[in-house]
Amino acid sequence: MNFLPGQHMKLHNHPVRELYLHVLDGSGVFILEDKEFPVEQGDVIYCQAKDKLGFTNTGEEKVSIYATMTKLIY
């Protein structure tokens, strides 16, 4: 995923998937269940299926994030 400066992603979740997000370039702020987590290049965020997640590019450069979803089987 790529985000231009000031661009954001609304809060949402992935009900039957865990999510790993690796920040490849840039910096910004993840919102995870109403808590803010500043991130920068090299950081990895883990989200459980029930977690609501959002993101804002707070920097002056493009942010690139590599996302991996794992399907949960119950």
Residue 73 is predicted with a pLDDT of 77
Residue 1 is predicted with a pLDDT of 95
CA distance 6 to 58: 6
pTM listed for this prediction: 0.88
Which DSSP string corresponds to 2-68? Answer: EE-TT-EEEEE--TTEEEEEEEEE-EEEEEETTEEEEEETT-EEEE-TT--EEEE--SSS-EEEEEE
Q: What is the pLDDT along the chain (74 residues), one digit of tens a residue?
A: 999 999 999 999 988 899 999 999 999 999 999 899 999 999 999 999 889 999 999 999 999 999 999 987 76
Residue 74 is predicted with a pLDDT of 66
